Chains A and B, each alone.
Chain A
Amino acid sequence: MKEIMTAKNVKLSYGNFEALHGIDLDFPEKRLTALIGPSGCGKSTFLRCLNRMNDDITGVKISGDIRFNGKDIYSPKMDLVALRKHVGMVFQQPTPFPFSVYDNVAYGLRIAGVKDKKLIEQRVEESLKQAAIWDETKDNLKRNAQAFSGGQQQRICIARTLAIRPEVVLLDEPTSALDPISSMEIEKTLMSLKHKYTFIMVTHNLQQASRVADQVAFLMNGNLIETGPTEKMFISPKNKVTSNYLNGRFG
């Protein structure tokens, strides 16, 4: 199986505080990898390294080697804008732009210079369907996206990311703001799409990880404790800490 993204010895410090202490993790193509671990262990930080969203934070220092399709994404020649078109991201909190649903989903295409109205229209519909939000939005595509509920907004944001057809989609706790039904919708979406996209998802919901993930990586205190295929991680983890965490024996 091909590894679409690889991370070697990734270290990151916010000022003097080292949040990641050298993480080695590979992401197989067209699979879903779940990043799990206690709050504050560096999951979001690591995820943001993968599309260089940490770059703008003042005082941040990143070292190590992260490759996308074999190319070093931290090389000075890397085009950030192009990278982010291939490695999309959905944030923990829904962040719709203050304009219509349609314009939100079409945003990525329009800024990429797509002029073909038919294509945009088709993509918008397709993406909204993929994100399981089409039924709720199809009659009011012109409505301000911020006027929807938090869960609906999050699915609009997922649609917005899918619309640019990235190869890798980074998801930071995409369902933490959702009710169980919408979460299940999103999970279904992920299940049906993971043969087309590579997903890397942070989640606190271990059941969710066990349901949708092909590979699970367990982080703690800025270290990668263990990684492996989902079943193996849940049934026979090598590390005692992992097994404690997965069985809920941590405060």
Chain B
Amino acid sequence: MNEIILRVRELKKNFNRRLVFDKLNFEVKSGERLVITGKNGSGKSTLLKILAGVLTESSGSVEYILNQKKIDRENIYQIIGLVSPYLVLYDEFSAFENLSLFAKIRNLKISDDEINKILTRVGLLERKNDLLRTYSSGMKQRIKYASAILHNPLILLIDEPTSNLDIEGKNFVEDLILNFREDGFVIIATNESQDFKYGNRIINLDEYKNNKNK
């Protein structure tokens, strides 16, 4: 059984002169489900990108500790899956080709059958050979989920989980979040009150807006 801890300390981010959030401190452990909320523009997506290691913070620190060992920044991509409205997959390839390329680039030992299984889970099996260019926005959201769980990550970061999804898609997401592996954790950024039920803890980013010490 793995134990993973995310430790965020005094995290601050500004874009040029705009402060997004400051003095953010929290910890997330295996088995938890954290919901991050806040107004539009409060920095939910920004925070998730920083946690995923694709955006640099202005100050403060983000640490992942797996079984008491700190994970290097270059390697956290191996344990994280991200779903985000900003995520764009390669639209000149089909769903299957995208996943199979990602598996190869990640150096995963994964068979075509397993890829098909994941495609079945997200309900795209019939359309797996169509180019993503021809996908609807809901289908694109589904393939993002497929790419996020492909490597069986310990950590799932989901930005606006149910956007563009139909009932069936929403059920899949609910199942994914509630039955996520027990040694991992999920962080959900959302504004929809119906999504709040997924979390066992809520952080409201609006509370980290003003720089009180200034």
Are A and B bound to each other? Answer: no
Q: Which residues of A contact B (CB under 8 A)?
A: none
